[in-house]
Structure formats: C-alpha cells, structure tokens
Chains A and B, each alone.
Chain A
Amino acid sequence: MNTSQQKSFLSEIADGDQIPLGKRSYFRERLRNRLYSFVLGKFAIAEQHNGLTKAELARRLDRRPEVITRLLGSPGNWTLDTVSDLLLGISAEELDLGSTSLTSQSPRNYRIPDWLSMAPMKGEVKNATDSYGSNCDDASVAEALKPSYSSETQIYQQKRDGMLSALRTPDDLYGASMYDSGQGSRQRSTAGSQHGKSHAVAMKVQDQR
C-alpha cells in the first residue's frame, strides 16, 4: 500500500527543535482553512434556519454583495477583522478562543478508507483494458477501445514530442511530470523533480521569517 509519508510530521514540534518552514506554512494555511470552514458552517446554519442570504449579510456589514460572495468563496484575503465581521453578521457571535496540544492527542486509527486498505485479490486482472467492470457500460468500453479513441492521445503525444516546447511544463518548475504518471514514472519523476527544482521559478514567499 503506497501512502503519503507520515513519519514524524510533528517531530520537531514535539522535540522543541526549530520548526521547518514547510510545517509552519502548513499550519498557517490550516488555520486559515479551519477558520473558513467554521464561518461557512455558521453561514450554512443561518441560511437554513434563519433564511440568511448573501445579500442580507452584505447589507448588515455595509459591503457590496460581490464582496460578500468573494469572501465566502475563499479565505485568501481574510484578516482577523474579516472573521470578526462575518461572525457578527452571520450569527451575532464572536470567536471563542482556545487551543489544543498537537502532541498529546492519540492518533486516529482510521487513516485510509477500508476499501482502499484491502489488498487486491489474487487472480484479479490488473490491466483495466483487460476486463470490463460492473460500473462500466458497454458503450463506454467500445468507445474507449476502438482505435480512433487514441486520436486525442496522438495529438497530445505529438505535442509532447515537440509542439509543447513553447509551453513551460511543471517539469520546468517543480519536477511534476505533466504527462507521465505511468508505470515507472516514480523513478522518472524523482529524477525530473531534481532537474526541475533547479529551474524553479522564483516564488514570492510571504512571512518566511
């Protein structure tokens, strides 16, 4: 079973070591996403039980409706003031502060859905094109297997062979293999990532320090 690496994500935090930038950025984004989810949950309740609309919320907060739509669509530009305003306008509430230890909680056992943790049964056909699944209708199978099916792929292969040279692929940026995740791609992508990372574009980093 191939899963993402989970080993000691909290190790530096638990050990009192310097916390890597990537983990600090993870928790910054996590806070933003959790705040967003919290406020959206409040809005969903108010919408369902009190008939609150975005237009009414805009009126309460003296903002244009499109601003409210944008704020509820993404937490990207939220500030603490935004959270305060939205909670007041949505549910006449303020944020109740608290914090939780990351290192003293018990890990959850359920990390992967049950159906994914089951090993494939012996004798099952591994190649999707070798068998027709129960949720795969005949028409789609016929369409997928007929020779002309690959016309789009041919176009894409032609582009990969040269026509895409004008398009800077993620290989140039992050080592992400844009058109290759087939068998053996992990080795290629790893090599590609090293190549690509050396050509990574400069990205503006906020609050690095």
Chain B
Amino acid sequence: MSMRDEIRFRVEEGRLIVLEPALPTSPVVRTMLVAPNIADLLNGPWSNQQEEYRFGRLRSDFDAFIEGLYISACMVPYSAKTAYIASLDPPAEGVWEIRSRDPKPSLRVFGFFAEVDVFIALTIFNRNLLGGSNTREWRDAIVGCKAEWRKLFSPYQPLIAETINEYISAKVFLV
C-alpha cells in the first residue's frame, strides 16, 4: 500500500477530514486534511462570537493554502516569525506549523506534509499557551503531534526534504 492508500483509509474511518475550500468557486490546488477536532472548530457551531470570528479567519487561512495562493514559508526554526508556515525544531522530524495570527491570541496548527502539496493538520494550539521558543510546552506539543502521526500512519514516515519546493511546489516565498 502507498501513503495515499493510508490517507484514504484514515479518511474513510473518519479520523481525517478532507478540507474543501469554503467557497464552491475556489480552485483546489493544494490538499489539506485535518483532524476531526480541527474540522469541528472550523465548522462550528461556536459558543460565542469570538470563536466564530476567530475560526472564520483560520478557515480563510487554510483556504489560502488549498487555493494555491502565495504563502510564505520558513525552513529554519526560530528565524522568521512572520512566515505563514514554518518548520519546527528539529527540521529533520518534519513537523510544521501553520500560523494564524490575527486576531490575537494567534493560533498554531501543527502537522506534517505527507507528500508535496499535501499537508495533514493534526493539532491546534493557542500560541499564548505555548510560551517562548523551545519551552517545555513547545516540546510537548511537538511530541504530541508526532504521536498523532504515528497513531494514524505508523510505520509510514512524513515527508522530509531539503528544499521548500519539495514541500510546496509553487507560489511559496521563502523568508
């Protein structure tokens, strides 16, 4: 079986959700799959307007990835805090975070690339609660994300590559 077969099985099992763009007219250029709990947050219902507002913005940020808009990326941990997507330390483990900054507190979505242009979002965090760089909370969050991957795909490994275009084939701005 291939990695794609495994992904399809996880989708069939309901353990991953294929994220379609919110707008029926939007193109689908890249692929994003999310854990069910993240899909719940995107789709609502929400308990208050703050959540509704916040996750509307997050949904739009995800759609920017799916629609193939230009996104900024950083492959060197701790070096570009403004990038849309960044590799976490250590890069060899293949954990990435998508940053949804506005409004505060910003959100961090951790996940892996299964193949080029296919991102699997597994966990989500309030950035404030992760503390500063390289704190125990960050390390725990990374360990937790890796554990999620193993639960879904072990023994398959996430994509680990040298160049950004091996992760995102086009319209990526390296910062």
Give complex CA distance A141, B150 in Å: 12
In the complex the two chains form, is B4's CB within 8 Å of A115's CB? yes
Q: Which residues of A contact B28 (CB under 8 A)?
A: 108, 110-113
In the complex with contacts A200-B51, A203-B50, A29-B140 CB distance below 8 A? no
Q: Is A147 an interface residue (CB 8 A)?
A: no
Chain A: residues with Cβ within 8 Å of the partner, total of 99
The residue on B at minimum CB distance from A189 is B37
Interface code A115-146, partner B: CB below 8 Å = 1, 0 otherwise?
Answer: 11011100011101101111110001101110
Given contacts A108-B27, A155-B143, contact A133 B52 (CB under 8 A): no
Given contacts A116-B8, A156-B143, A189-B35, 12 further A-B contacts (CB under 8 A): A2-B16, A4-B42, A26-B60, A27-B60, A113-B28, A128-B6, A128-B155, A133-B1, A134-B2, A140-B156, A178-B123, A189-B37
B residues touching A (Cβ–Cβ < 8 Å)? 1-9, 11-28, 31, 34-44, 46-57, 59-61, 63-64, 69-72, 80, 82-84, 101-105, 122-126, 128-129, 136-137, 140-141, 143-144, 146-148, 150-157, 171, 173, 175
Alpha-carbon separation in the docked complex, A81 to B167 (Å): 33
Determine whether the beta carbon of B15 is less than 8 Å from that of A182.
yes
| Residue positions of A touching B, CB distance < 8 A | 1-6, 9-10, 20-30, 33-34, 36-37, 40-41, 43-44, 69-70, 72-74, 76, 102, 105-108, 110-113, 115-116, 118-120, 124-126, 128-129, 131-136, 140-141, 143-145, 152-153, 155-156, 159, 164, 167-168, 170, 173-179, 181-183, 185-186, 189-190, 192-194, 197-198, 200-206, 208
* Closest residue of B by beta carbon distance from A171: B37
Residues of A within 8 A of B17 (CB): 2-4
Contact (Cβ within 8 A) B5 A120:
yes
